[in-house]
Amino acid sequence: MQLIDGKKIASEIKKEIAGEVLKIKENGGKVPHLAAVLVGHDGGSETYVAFKIKDCQEVGFKSSLVRFEDDVTEAELLAKVEELNNDPDIDGFIVQLPLPKHISEQKIIEAIDPKKDVDGFHPVNVGRMVIGLPSFVSATPYGIVELLKRYQIETNGKNCVVVGRSNIVGRPLSVLLSQKGINATVTVAHSRTANLEQVCASADILVAAIGSPEFITAGMVKKGAVVIDVGTTRVPAPETKSGWKLKGDVKFDEVAPKCSWITPVPGGVGPMTRVALLQNTLLAVKGW
Ligand code: GUN
Protein backbone atom coordinates (compact mmCIF):
# COMPACT_ATOMS: atom_id res chain seq x y z
CA MET A 1 0.00 0.00 0.00
CA GLN A 2 1.24 3.49 -0.88
CA LEU A 3 -0.07 6.79 0.38
CA ILE A 4 -1.20 9.48 -2.04
CA ASP A 5 0.27 12.57 -0.43
CA GLY A 6 -2.11 15.40 -1.30
CA LYS A 7 -0.32 17.77 1.02
CA LYS A 8 2.97 17.33 -0.81
CA ILE A 9 1.45 17.66 -4.30
CA ALA A 10 -0.60 20.70 -3.24
CA SER A 11 2.53 22.34 -1.90
CA GLU A 12 4.33 21.70 -5.24
CA ILE A 13 1.43 23.21 -7.19
CA LYS A 14 1.38 26.23 -4.87
CA LYS A 15 5.05 26.82 -5.68
CA GLU A 16 4.25 26.62 -9.40
CA ILE A 17 1.43 29.16 -8.96
CA ALA A 18 3.64 31.48 -6.91
CA GLY A 19 6.17 31.32 -9.75
CA GLU A 20 3.50 32.31 -12.25
CA VAL A 21 2.44 35.23 -10.06
CA LEU A 22 6.04 36.44 -9.97
CA LYS A 23 6.17 36.30 -13.78
CA ILE A 24 2.88 38.22 -14.02
CA LYS A 25 4.29 40.90 -11.69
CA GLU A 26 7.53 41.13 -13.66
CA ASN A 27 5.57 41.62 -16.86
CA GLY A 28 3.31 44.24 -15.29
CA GLY A 29 0.24 42.00 -15.64
CA LYS A 30 -2.80 41.77 -13.39
CA VAL A 31 -2.19 40.08 -10.03
CA PRO A 32 -5.03 37.57 -9.44
CA HIS A 33 -7.60 38.83 -6.93
CA LEU A 34 -10.02 36.43 -5.21
CA ALA A 35 -12.93 37.58 -3.07
CA ALA A 36 -14.72 35.31 -0.60
CA VAL A 37 -18.19 36.08 0.72
CA LEU A 38 -18.90 34.61 4.16
CA VAL A 39 -22.34 34.72 5.75
CA GLY A 40 -22.65 34.08 9.50
CA HIS A 41 -20.20 32.34 11.80
CA ASP A 42 -20.45 28.60 11.09
CA GLY A 43 -17.23 27.03 12.42
CA GLY A 44 -16.52 24.97 9.30
CA SER A 45 -17.16 27.87 6.92
CA GLU A 46 -15.00 30.22 9.01
CA THR A 47 -12.13 27.74 8.84
CA TYR A 48 -12.47 27.07 5.11
CA VAL A 49 -12.63 30.77 4.23
CA ALA A 50 -9.67 31.60 6.48
CA PHE A 51 -7.66 28.89 4.65
CA LYS A 52 -8.69 30.33 1.28
CA ILE A 53 -7.45 33.80 2.25
CA LYS A 54 -4.22 32.37 3.69
CA ASP A 55 -3.61 30.31 0.52
CA CYS A 56 -4.02 33.45 -1.60
CA GLN A 57 -1.48 35.30 0.51
CA GLU A 58 1.00 32.44 0.24
CA VAL A 59 1.04 32.45 -3.57
CA GLY A 60 0.97 36.25 -3.91
CA PHE A 61 -2.68 36.71 -4.92
CA LYS A 62 -4.75 39.61 -3.68
CA SER A 63 -7.73 38.55 -1.59
CA SER A 64 -10.78 40.19 -0.06
CA LEU A 65 -13.12 38.85 2.59
CA VAL A 66 -16.70 40.14 2.51
CA ARG A 67 -18.69 39.34 5.65
CA PHE A 68 -22.40 39.38 6.36
CA GLU A 69 -24.35 38.43 9.46
CA ASP A 70 -26.85 35.53 9.40
CA ASP A 71 -29.76 37.93 8.98
CA VAL A 72 -28.57 39.34 5.66
CA THR A 73 -31.41 39.35 3.13
CA GLU A 74 -31.27 37.55 -0.19
CA ALA A 75 -31.58 40.93 -1.93
CA GLU A 76 -28.56 42.31 -0.07
CA LEU A 77 -26.50 39.27 -0.97
CA LEU A 78 -27.60 39.46 -4.61
CA ALA A 79 -26.59 43.12 -4.66
CA LYS A 80 -23.12 42.20 -3.39
CA VAL A 81 -22.81 39.48 -6.05
CA GLU A 82 -23.72 42.05 -8.70
CA GLU A 83 -21.14 44.47 -7.30
CA LEU A 84 -18.41 41.81 -7.42
CA ASN A 85 -19.49 40.79 -10.95
CA ASN A 86 -18.92 44.39 -12.06
CA ASP A 87 -15.73 45.09 -10.11
CA PRO A 88 -12.88 44.97 -12.64
CA ASP A 89 -10.28 44.37 -9.93
CA ILE A 90 -11.96 41.12 -8.79
CA ASP A 91 -11.01 38.22 -11.07
CA GLY A 92 -13.00 35.56 -9.29
CA PHE A 93 -15.11 35.13 -6.18
CA ILE A 94 -16.88 32.52 -4.13
CA VAL A 95 -19.89 32.62 -1.84
CA GLN A 96 -19.18 30.14 0.93
CA LEU A 97 -21.92 27.52 1.38
CA PRO A 98 -24.08 26.63 3.20
CA LEU A 99 -26.17 29.81 3.35
CA PRO A 100 -28.93 30.48 5.91
CA LYS A 101 -32.26 28.78 5.12
CA HIS A 102 -34.01 32.01 4.06
CA ILE A 103 -31.61 32.47 1.14
CA SER A 104 -31.81 30.40 -2.04
CA GLU A 105 -28.32 29.04 -2.69
CA GLN A 106 -29.24 28.25 -6.27
CA LYS A 107 -30.40 31.83 -6.87
CA ILE A 108 -27.11 33.19 -5.53
CA ILE A 109 -25.03 30.75 -7.59
CA GLU A 110 -26.92 31.63 -10.75
CA ALA A 111 -26.36 35.35 -10.12
CA ILE A 112 -22.58 34.94 -10.24
CA ASP A 113 -20.96 35.84 -13.56
CA PRO A 114 -19.82 32.43 -14.91
CA LYS A 115 -16.50 34.00 -15.89
CA LYS A 116 -15.84 34.87 -12.22
CA ASP A 117 -17.34 31.66 -10.80
CA VAL A 118 -14.08 30.10 -9.60
CA ASP A 119 -16.07 27.52 -7.58
CA GLY A 120 -17.42 26.18 -10.87
CA PHE A 121 -20.93 25.91 -9.42
CA HIS A 122 -22.82 27.99 -12.02
CA PRO A 123 -24.87 25.86 -14.46
CA VAL A 124 -22.95 27.43 -17.36
CA ASN A 125 -19.68 26.09 -15.95
CA VAL A 126 -21.18 22.70 -15.09
CA GLY A 127 -22.69 22.46 -18.59
CA ARG A 128 -19.46 23.49 -20.30
CA MET A 129 -17.53 20.95 -18.25
CA VAL A 130 -19.98 18.17 -19.16
CA ILE A 131 -19.50 18.73 -22.90
CA GLY A 132 -15.74 19.13 -22.58
CA LEU A 133 -15.46 22.89 -23.14
CA PRO A 134 -13.03 25.05 -21.15
CA SER A 135 -14.69 25.95 -17.85
CA PHE A 136 -14.15 26.34 -14.14
CA VAL A 137 -14.33 22.86 -12.60
CA SER A 138 -15.37 22.62 -8.96
CA ALA A 139 -12.39 22.35 -6.68
CA THR A 140 -12.61 18.84 -5.23
CA PRO A 141 -13.12 16.99 -8.54
CA TYR A 142 -10.39 19.16 -10.10
CA GLY A 143 -8.04 18.33 -7.23
CA ILE A 144 -8.74 14.59 -7.43
CA VAL A 145 -8.09 14.43 -11.17
CA GLU A 146 -4.85 16.38 -10.65
CA LEU A 147 -3.77 13.89 -7.95
CA LEU A 148 -4.43 10.89 -10.20
CA LYS A 149 -2.46 12.56 -13.02
CA ARG A 150 0.51 13.58 -10.89
CA TYR A 151 0.76 10.08 -9.36
CA GLN A 152 0.42 8.64 -12.88
CA ILE A 153 -2.33 6.33 -11.70
CA GLU A 154 -3.69 4.36 -14.65
CA THR A 155 -7.28 5.33 -15.38
CA ASN A 156 -7.69 4.13 -18.98
CA GLY A 157 -10.36 1.45 -19.11
CA LYS A 158 -10.48 1.15 -15.32
CA ASN A 159 -13.71 0.55 -13.46
CA CYS A 160 -14.28 3.56 -11.30
CA VAL A 161 -17.05 3.73 -8.71
CA VAL A 162 -17.93 7.13 -7.28
CA VAL A 163 -20.05 6.83 -4.14
CA GLY A 164 -22.06 10.03 -3.77
CA ARG A 165 -23.87 12.17 -6.33
CA SER A 166 -23.55 15.71 -4.96
CA ASN A 167 -23.49 18.66 -7.36
CA ILE A 168 -20.06 19.74 -6.18
CA VAL A 169 -18.19 16.43 -5.91
CA GLY A 170 -19.69 13.09 -6.99
CA ARG A 171 -21.61 14.17 -10.08
CA PRO A 172 -18.93 16.39 -11.69
CA LEU A 173 -16.16 13.94 -10.80
CA SER A 174 -18.05 11.08 -12.47
CA VAL A 175 -18.22 13.14 -15.67
CA LEU A 176 -14.54 14.12 -15.59
CA LEU A 177 -13.39 10.54 -15.05
CA SER A 178 -15.27 9.33 -18.12
CA GLN A 179 -13.89 12.08 -20.36
CA LYS A 180 -11.43 11.50 -23.19
CA GLY A 181 -7.91 11.45 -21.81
CA ILE A 182 -8.98 9.85 -18.52
CA ASN A 183 -11.16 7.14 -20.06
CA ALA A 184 -12.46 5.40 -16.94
CA THR A 185 -15.70 3.44 -17.00
CA VAL A 186 -17.69 5.14 -14.28
CA THR A 187 -20.50 4.04 -11.99
CA VAL A 188 -22.19 6.58 -9.73
CA ALA A 189 -23.43 4.84 -6.59
CA HIS A 190 -25.70 6.49 -4.02
CA SER A 191 -28.06 5.86 -1.12
CA ARG A 192 -30.51 3.89 -3.29
CA THR A 193 -27.88 1.74 -5.03
CA ALA A 194 -28.69 -1.98 -4.75
CA ASN A 195 -25.88 -4.28 -3.58
CA LEU A 196 -23.65 -1.31 -2.76
CA GLU A 197 -21.04 -3.56 -1.18
CA GLN A 198 -20.57 -5.61 -4.39
CA VAL A 199 -20.66 -2.49 -6.58
CA CYS A 200 -17.87 -0.90 -4.53
CA ALA A 201 -15.90 -4.13 -4.47
CA SER A 202 -15.91 -4.16 -8.30
CA ALA A 203 -14.00 -0.86 -8.43
CA ASP A 204 -10.41 -0.52 -9.59
CA ILE A 205 -10.70 3.08 -8.40
CA LEU A 206 -13.13 3.76 -5.57
CA VAL A 207 -14.04 7.34 -4.66
CA ALA A 208 -15.86 7.80 -1.35
CA ALA A 209 -17.79 11.09 -1.33
CA ILE A 210 -20.67 10.24 0.95
CA GLY A 211 -20.06 12.45 3.96
CA SER A 212 -20.52 9.56 6.37
CA PRO A 213 -17.47 8.81 8.53
CA GLU A 214 -15.86 5.37 8.04
CA PHE A 215 -18.70 4.22 5.77
CA ILE A 216 -16.39 2.26 3.45
CA THR A 217 -15.16 -0.91 5.14
CA ALA A 218 -12.66 -3.57 4.02
CA GLY A 219 -15.39 -5.82 2.61
CA MET A 220 -16.33 -3.10 0.11
CA VAL A 221 -12.85 -2.79 -1.41
CA LYS A 222 -11.17 -4.97 -4.03
CA LYS A 223 -7.60 -6.08 -3.35
CA GLY A 224 -5.21 -3.71 -5.12
CA ALA A 225 -7.81 -0.95 -5.59
CA VAL A 226 -7.02 2.78 -5.58
CA VAL A 227 -9.12 4.47 -2.88
CA ILE A 228 -9.81 8.20 -2.84
CA ASP A 229 -11.40 9.47 0.38
CA VAL A 230 -13.29 12.77 0.04
CA GLY A 231 -14.84 12.68 3.52
CA THR A 232 -14.09 15.52 5.93
CA THR A 233 -16.53 15.09 8.78
CA ARG A 234 -15.63 16.85 12.02
CA VAL A 235 -15.94 14.51 14.97
CA PRO A 236 -15.47 15.49 18.62
CA ALA A 237 -11.94 14.79 19.88
CA PRO A 238 -11.29 16.11 23.38
CA GLU A 239 -7.58 15.23 23.06
CA THR A 240 -7.00 17.84 20.32
CA LYS A 241 -6.51 21.57 20.79
CA SER A 242 -9.54 22.46 18.67
CA GLY A 243 -11.71 19.78 20.31
CA TRP A 244 -12.43 18.04 16.99
CA LYS A 245 -10.68 16.11 14.25
CA LEU A 246 -11.42 15.21 10.64
CA LYS A 247 -12.70 11.74 9.77
CA GLY A 248 -12.83 10.38 6.24
CA ASP A 249 -15.52 8.26 4.62
CA VAL A 250 -13.15 5.27 4.61
CA LYS A 251 -12.31 3.05 7.58
CA PHE A 252 -8.64 3.68 6.88
CA ASP A 253 -6.99 1.14 9.21
CA GLU A 254 -8.77 -1.88 7.75
CA VAL A 255 -9.05 -0.64 4.14
CA ALA A 256 -5.48 0.65 3.61
CA PRO A 257 -3.78 -2.80 3.70
CA LYS A 258 -5.94 -3.94 0.75
CA CYS A 259 -5.16 -0.93 -1.47
CA SER A 260 -2.48 -0.21 -4.03
CA TRP A 261 -2.92 3.50 -3.33
CA ILE A 262 -5.02 5.40 -0.80
CA THR A 263 -5.48 9.04 0.23
CA PRO A 264 -5.29 9.78 3.97
CA VAL A 265 -7.61 12.14 5.85
CA PRO A 266 -6.33 14.71 6.58
CA GLY A 267 -3.60 15.33 4.00
CA GLY A 268 -5.16 13.71 0.94
CA VAL A 269 -7.93 15.34 -1.06
CA GLY A 270 -8.39 18.37 1.25
CA PRO A 271 -5.18 20.23 0.36
CA MET A 272 -5.85 19.55 -3.33
CA THR A 273 -9.31 21.10 -3.04
CA ARG A 274 -7.71 24.20 -1.57
CA VAL A 275 -5.11 24.50 -4.28
CA ALA A 276 -7.67 23.93 -7.05
CA LEU A 277 -9.37 27.18 -6.09
CA LEU A 278 -6.04 28.95 -6.64
CA GLN A 279 -5.67 27.23 -10.02
CA ASN A 280 -9.15 28.41 -11.00
CA THR A 281 -8.41 31.96 -9.84
CA LEU A 282 -5.27 32.02 -11.98
CA LEU A 283 -7.37 30.75 -14.89
CA ALA A 284 -9.87 33.55 -14.24
CA VAL A 285 -7.15 36.11 -14.98
CA LYS A 286 -6.19 34.35 -18.22
CA GLY A 287 -9.83 33.63 -19.14
CA TRP A 288 -11.23 30.25 -20.26
N1 GUN B 1 -18.87 24.69 1.13
C2 GUN B 1 -18.25 23.51 1.16
N3 GUN B 1 -17.38 23.41 0.13
C4 GUN B 1 -17.47 24.57 -0.55
C5 GUN B 1 -16.80 25.06 -1.72
O6 GUN B 1 -15.97 24.41 -2.35
N7 GUN B 1 -17.16 26.32 -2.09
C8 GUN B 1 -18.10 27.05 -1.44
N9 GUN B 1 -18.40 28.24 -1.92
N10 GUN B 1 -18.73 26.61 -0.37
C11 GUN B 1 -18.41 25.37 0.07
Ligand 1 centroid to Cα of residue 48, in Å, is 8
Last residue of a domain, one of 96, 113, 130: 113
What is the rounded average pLDDT of the residues 261-284? 98
Ligand 1 centroid to Cα of residue 139, in Å, is 9
Instruction: Give the chain's domain count.
Output: 2
Same domain for 245 and 146? yes
Nearest CA to ligand 1 atom 3: 97
The tens digit of pLDDT for each residue in 33-67 reads 999 999 999 999 999 999 999 999 999 999 999 99
Same domain for 150 and 108? no
In a domain, 198, yes or no: yes
The tens digit of pLDDT for each residue in 151-199 reads 999 999 999 999 999 999 999 999 999 999 999 999 999 999 999 999 9
Domain hosting 53: range is: 29-113
User: Can you give the CATH number for the domain in which 67 is found?
Assistant: 3.40.50.10860
The tens digit of pLDDT for each residue in 200-251 reads 999 999 999 999 999 999 999 999 999 999 999 999 999 999 999 999 999 9
* pLDDT for res 122: 98
Ligand 1 centroid to Cα of residue 250, in Å, is 21
* pLDDT for res 35: 99
Ligand 1 centroid to Cα of residue 158, in Å, is 29
Nearest CA to ligand 1 atom 2: 97
Same domain for 223 and 143? yes
Is residue 288's pLDDT more than 90? no
Beta partners for 186? 160
- CB distance 118 to 284 below 8 Å: yes
Same domain for 75 and 167? no
Residues with CB under 6 A from ligand 1: 94-97, 119, 139
Q: Which residues are the active-site residues?
A: 52, 96, 119
Same domain for 96 and 215? no
- Residue 135: band (very low, low, confident or very high) from pLDDT cuts 50, 70, 90: very high
Q: Which ligand 1 atom is the nearest neighbour of the CA of 45?
A: 1
User: Can you give the CATH number for the domain in which 225 is found?
Assistant: 3.40.50.720
Is residue 128's pLDDT more than 90? yes
- For the chain, what is the mean pLDDT? 98
The tens digit of pLDDT for each residue in 78-105 reads 999 999 999 999 999 999 999 999 999 9
In a domain, 17, yes or no: no
Q: Which ligand 1 atom is the nearest neighbour of the CA of 138?
A: 6
3-state secondary structure the chain: CEECCHHHHHHHHHHHHHHHHHHHHHCCCCCCEEEEEEECCCHHHHHHHHHHHHHHHHHCCEEEEEEECCCCCHHHHHHHHHHHHHCCCCCEEEECCCCCCCCCHHHHHHHCCHHHECCCCCHHHHHHHHCCCCCCCCHHHHHHHHHHHHCCCCCCCCEEEEECCCCCCHHHHHHHHHCCCCCCEEEEECCCCCCHHHHHHCCCEEEECCCCCCCECHHHCCCCEEEEECCCEEEECCCCCCCEEEECCECHHHHHHHEEEECCCCCCHHHHHHHHHHHHHHHHHHCC
Nearest CA to ligand 1 atom 7: 96
Which of 99, 119, 138, 275 to mutate to test ligand 1, by most ligand atoms within 8 A of the CB atom? Answer: 119
Same domain for 188 and 79? no
